[in-house]
Structure 1
Amino acid sequence: MCDFVVRLTRTPRIGTGRMSRGLRHGAALVLALVLTAQTAPVAAAPAPAGPVVRTDRGLIRGLTGDGFRTFQAVPFAAPPTGDRRWRAPQPVTPWSGIRDATRPHEECAQNPIFGPPAGTEDCLYLNVTAPTAPGPHPVLVFVHGGSFQNGSGAEYDPARLVTQGGLVVVTINYRLGVFGYLGLPGLAGSGTFGLQDQQAALRWVRRNAAAFGGDAGNVTLAGESAGAESVCAQLTSPSARGLFDKAILQSGSCLTDWPDALFLPKIEAGSPFSPRGTVERTGSALAATLGCPAEHALACLRGKDPIALLNATTGTGVEAFVTPAYGTALLPVSPAAALRAGKAQRVPVLAGNNHDEHRAIIGVIEITQGAYSAADYETMLAAAFGDEAARVAAHYPVEEYGTPGLAWAAAATDRIWACPTLTTQRLLARHAPTYAYEFAEAHGPALTADYPWGAAHGYELPYLFDVAGFLTVGTVQPRLAADMIGSWAHFAATGQAPWPAVRPTGAAPYHRVFAAGRDGRVDLAAEHQCAFWDAIAADG
């Protein structure tokens, strides 16, 4: 659930039309941080008669670009509407003729950061971009972020990953918020519908990748923020076994969690996942709020207008249904518990974080609502760490970081993001090759020029994907972008990164640093004070 979304200037709508191209992004807040970035249209004039591919449900026609072909709005499951609302994804009805696949589909119904509800329930579509060169090519399936509450696969244009990396890239939609994670007593699949959609998309990829020049036996599942948390959940899900061969986690892990107030002052302690009982109690409370009697709650809620459901589930806590449920068939135990017990799929993993993750959250608050004071910082520390507050304050003194906000962001980056990811890497490395990185470029694209964003949450995305209207101050360094694309592509092709793997115990693991003009590795445990946080946890 940890995602920070940046959307300022967006025209919301629900249930009508297709998603407009080039929607602009700015910055704003969510509780769990995921970056959503809007894609530009394909940067090439379409051929008079675009390429046609036969999928297992029918023919589709796409567009040809410079060295790639793209097919958008390809259905991988039936519309989850009517009686299919809160059911497992159902098969697509085959079609006759050639289906147009030249424009992205509208995003899944969701609560944007600003404005009224947007999107449509009929949203289970994916986009395929493939090299024009003959295959077979490795396949990368990318799961967007958005706090399990917003975002869209069409927001990420993978043309450079395709043409420079030689990959077939699939970006997907999945149900969000109340439509993806509602739970009710007796409801099959309670709290896991969005994760089920991701698995349905992976099954589609296994069946259809070869038609696009992809290698259906070489599939990497990748995601950022809530997308990375989704990938980690799929690593621990029994029903996802055999659906992918490698995994990439960008800024999110099975172990992500936070104490009271550290994420933001009004955010209670939590994690990206909730027990099934909690989700079902919250679902029952929603039904009562909307006038649905317990004995007919599901049928009654299925009859509610989607806007009414979205309006009743705004916010960032479990009441917004932004935490997938465990204690379910899809997630028998929490992903954290499964990882610690060695029950994750034993496939190669590439995982990492950004150097200054939490500046994305603190920075937006400070530039929109004013800077945090020393008193604010002290209040947060007391709420988050109780008797250990003075100890944390001494370890992250304002004087060392320059401002209370930057000290807060440093402590939160280390406690919420970097150190849990390091533990995740070491646990995964016990059973399968695991490769670690840190994105540390502080001078690339940024949200504004008047704040020291550093390598904030999501700031690596423009180096892998083309995005429009997002992080528009500054430019991507081409050599760094090429290095990252090459590394991601090498891992997707071979299951190995071009640097040494993590060691599960002993000396500090090898973390590859991505920053312009900087080569080599970093001792991430030392850089992010992980021994200190281990001691705080042990003493707590």
Structure 2
Amino acid sequence: MEVWRLFAALCLLLSTAHATSLGAVYTEGGMVEGTNHKVGLFRSMDVFKGVPFAAQPGRFEKPKPHPGWSGILKTKDFAKRCLQLTLLQNNKRGSEDCLYLNIWVPHGRKVSTGLPVMLYIFGGGYLVGGSQGANFLNNYLYSGEEIADRGDVIVVTVNYRVGTLGFLSSGDSELPGNYGLWDQQAAIAWVHRNIRAFGGDAENITIFGESAGAASVNFQMLTPHNKGLIRRAISQSGVALCPWAVNRNPRAFAEEVARKVGCPTDAGMVNCLKMTDPVELTLAGTLNLKGSPAHPIVQNLVLSPVIDGDFLPDDPSTLFHNAADIDYIAGINDMDGHIFTGFDVPSVNQPIQSTPVEDVQQLLTALTRAKGPAAAAAAMQQYTSSWGGKPGKDEIKRTIVEIETDYIFLVPTQIALYLHAKHAKTARTYSYLFSEPSRLPAYPSWMGADHADDLQYVFGKPFTTPLGYFPRHRKVSKHFISYWTNFAKTGDPNVGGSEIPVFWPRFIGEGHQFVDINHNTGKDSVKQKMRSRFVYFWTTTYMSFPNVNETVSLPVDQYLS
């Protein structure tokens, strides 16, 4: 009987235990109050959704401080994403009033103080996306709860302008562009000024992002406007040197948008665009996403950052000295390029249909057009040297995916890592490859990790929705969260309190080591010189050919020599 009394008392204690909470928090704009819930025994989570970090932005203007509010602002729901096209590019969604962020704060027995901060920048080709990510049954992709709880860090996700309102540029000071990057920077600065009130360490902010968000992370490291605000950074499948990351001729697309909305393309263009309805401007910013081997869609991604002389005072490849004290992790998924090949060469995903060798030739000709036929022939020889006399159907398809992965993601990321390590003072540099095979059943059996496949693991979805995953997927998620949050705490992914599968060496010296992350990550997963033969081709052999008709999109000739 005594045992039952003790058991009942314990149950009562646990059921009535008061969850630790910050309550209402004071920010520079006023008081905010979120929600609080338990996440485990003696652990709770404060969540603040829709916290303003800037005022509603003016059309084609930099963000301005929020005017503030009286009373306590209830921050319990995600704000609308910024005005943008739908995925099919046939309608719009979102709002101009969109500069809000979300915060997850974990607590133990006591209210947290001095926690590292991880600020996430979403991807979406600079065309679509929002701070909460995709949603299925109230399960948001970019919920920071699993990272915050398992890693004991504060997680912040932010909105920023995309599409024409975020990145349209006339190529001069009239319409300089980069408004979405300025929004991200305003959010970083707001977090630096206000996060102490939420229990965060303002001097230990890590920014991380994927795809266009990953390139944005790199831009935020390189701009002089973030000096002293960022301690560490993680780029997942994207850097500022990617061929889609910078538009070097923004005027052409600005004029195309102007014609669509009835504006002139001469001296009056910018004033007319500024007076045009924002929905019209958004709908006019459609991109051509119908690729082919001869016209790959990577060459159509023209709504992107520009070298404006302000946020980016020069070519990104020359700005890595600004990141000399920012610790950096950068990596890719082993088949990141597959998402593009699905548009450019649809037969890649047809198990019965063969892919003609001519498609490989056309694709390489398109990607090497700046250097002419001799460079295309050299590329063809490089990528087919292992084929033998009669390549198999899958071998040809894998080769096409490798070509686009190398050109669009892998080679630029390796260059960025090299430049970061070369210019580092106190900063540390780490490289990774993610190779867990895609979970989508319709994909080919040889498929590896597609673009964005890493996100579900980084944000802990195998724990949030366990029935949708196998135990091996929870291992992958644990690896990511441990490495990422250790790094956020200490600048070293091996140190920080979370268990790791293998020691991750730095990207230094001649070895250029990296860790291969998947469910089997272990002692054999530390490797070196990622696809060095192909990195050498694109950075040295290819660059040795003279230009024949246009600016080369990979500015890398002198960096790996």
Question: What TM-score bracket applies, with the shorter chain setting the length?
Answer: 0.7 to 0.9
CA apart distance, 1:228: 0.9
For residue 522 of structure 1, what is the aligned residue in structure 2? Answer: 527
CA positional deviation for 1:176: 0.5
> Does structure 2 conserve the Cα–Cα contact (< 8 Å) formed by 1:434 and 1:501?
no
Which residue is equivalent to 2:113?
A: 135
Residue number in structure 2 paired with 1:173: 159
Secondary structure of the structure 1 residue equivalent to 2:129: coil
The aligned residue for residue 227 of structure 2 is: 241
Q: 1:75 aligns with which of 52, 58, 73?
A: 52
2:70 alignment counterpart: 96
The equivalent of 1:537 in structure 2 is 542
Structure 1 residue 285: Cα displacement = 4.8
- Cα 1:500–1:185 change in 2 (3 A) is closer
TM-score, scaled to structure 1: 0.80
2-structure distance, mates of 1:524, 1:256: 19
Cα distance, 1:402 vs structure 2? 1.8
Q: Measure the CA separation in 1 of the matches of 2:349 and 2:282.
A: 26
Partner of 2:102, secondary structure, is strand
Contact residue 514 and residue 530 of structure 2 kept, 8 A: no
Structure 1 residues 441-520: aligned runs within 5 Å: 441-442=436-437, 445-446=439-440, 448=442, 452-466=446-460, 475=470, 477-498=473-494, 499-506=503-510, 508-520=511-523
Partner of 2:127: 149
Q: Distance in 2 between matches of 1:318 and 1:372?
A: 22
RMSD: 3.0
Write out per-residue CA displacement over residues 128-174 of structure 1, whole angstroms, 9 at most, x where no aligned residue. Answer: 11112312110011100000111111111111110000110110111
Highest RCO, 1 vs 2 (Cα 8 Å, sep ≥ 6): 1
Percent identity of the aligned residues?
A: 29
Matched, 1:346 2:346: no
CA drift of 1:380 comes to 1.9
* Equivalent position to 2:412, from 420, 436, 446: 420
Select which of 297, 311, 331 maps to 1:330. Answer: 311
The Cα shift of 1:489 comes to 0.5
Deviation, 1:393, is 4.3
| DSSP 3-state at the match of 1:482 | helix
Equivalents in 2 of 1:141, 1:189: separation in Å? 28
Contact 2:430 2:507 in 1 (8 A): no
Measured in 2, the distance between the counterparts of 1:186 and 1:105 equals 32
Cα-to-partner distance string for 1:320-349 (whole Å, 9 max, x where unaligned): 75211104211011212323xx44343111
Amino acid corresponding to residue 429 of structure 2 in structure 1: T
Conserved? CA contact 1:75–1:126, under 8 Å: yes
Report how far residue 448 of structure 1 moved. Answer: 3.6
Quote the Cα distance in structure 1 between the aligned partners of 2:143 and 2:449: 21
SS at match of 1:127: strand
1:314 corresponds to which of 268, 286, 292: 286
**How many angstroms does 1:527 deviate by?**
6.8
Q: What is aligned with 2:16? A: none
Is 1:87–2:61 an aligned residue pair? yes
Deviations 1:382-404 (A, max 9, x none): 33343324313423638367243
Q: State the distance in 1 between where 2:477 and 2:402 align.
A: 26
Deviation of 1:89 after TM superposition, in Å, equals: 0.2
| C-alpha spacing 1:97/1:452, structure 2 compared with 1 (3 Å) | farther
Q: Distance in 1 between matches of 2:34 and 2:150?
A: 20
Distance change (3 Å), C-alpha of 1:415 and 1:195: same
Q: Pick closer, same or farther for the CA change 1:372–1:306 going to 2, 3 Å.
A: farther
Q: Distance in 1 between matches of 2:171 and 2:417?
A: 35
1:383 paired with 2:366, answer yes
**Count of matched residue positions in the alignment of Structure 1 and Structure 2:** 472
CA deviations 1:296-355 (Å, max 9, x no partner) are 43443233222211222100589875211104211011212323xx44343111111111
Instruction: Structure 1: give runs of 5+ residues left out of the alignment.
Output: 1-46, 258-270
Inter-CA distance 531–447: structure 2 relative to 1 (3 Å threshold): same
Look up the match of 2:261: 290
Contact 1:78–1:124 (8 Å) recurs in 2: yes
CA distance change for structure 1 residues 503 and 515 in 2, over 3 Å: closer, same or farther? closer
Contact 1:381–1:393 (8 Å) recurs in 2: no
Higher gyration radius (CA): 2
Q: Which moved more, 1:370-379 or 1:88-97?
A: 370-379
**Match of 1:331, as an amino acid?**
L
Gapped runs of 5+ residues in structure 2? 1-18, 134-141, 289-297, 369-375, 495-502, 546-561
In structure 1, give the amino acid aligned to 2:216: S
Secondary structure of 1:227's counterpart equals helix
* TM-score under structure 2 length normalisation: 0.77
Structure 1 counterpart of 2:430: 435
Alignment correspondent of 1:3? none
Confirm whether residue 125 of structure 1 aligns to residue 111 of structure 2.
no
The offset of 1:531, in angstroms, is 3.2
User: Which residue identity does 1:479 align to in structure 2?
Assistant: K
